[in-house]
Structure 1
């Protein structure tokens, strides 16, 4: 698998690293309209093949986010 650089400016995320680098092993992005803040990492719940369509990045959200403790 190719190495992909993911930039993130959410400094209170567990996966936020120096230079605004995301250090997560995998990234889950979903539509804001489907955002359900009662769980983290939709992939863990078996949503491997869920597909949506977004017209702009403003319609999306990162489900990988986990606040630093």
Structure 2
């Protein structure tokens, strides 16, 4: 299976790594029924300095999200 680099801006996720790189072994991707995008977003995936925080996976488009333990 090919190795893929996954960018992530959710800095309080257990799997968040330096340079906005996801360190999870597996990623769960689902439809984002609440998104209202009318444009292709893939070209924006190279951003490395943007950081956000979430409380649980429902606040993200990533079902792999797991908050860091405090």
The TM-score with structure 1 as length reference comes to 0.59
Return the alpha-carbon distance in structure 2 between the equivalents of residues 13 and 56 of structure 1. 27
Cα distance, 1:4 vs structure 2: 0.1
Instruction: Tell me the SS of whatever aligns to 2:61.
Output: strand
Return the alpha-carbon distance in structure 2 between the equivalents of residues 57 and 31 of structure 1. 15
The answer for unaligned runs of 5 or more in structure 2 is: 42-59
Runs of 4+ residues deviating >2 angstroms = 55-58
Which structure: greater strand fraction? 1
Query: Equivalent residue for 1:16?
Result: 16
What pairs up with 1:1-69 in 2 under 5 angstroms? 1-33=1-33, 61-69=61-69
The TM-score with structure 2 as length reference comes to 0.58
The answer for unaligned runs of 5 or more in structure 1 is: 34-54
Number of equivalent positions: 48
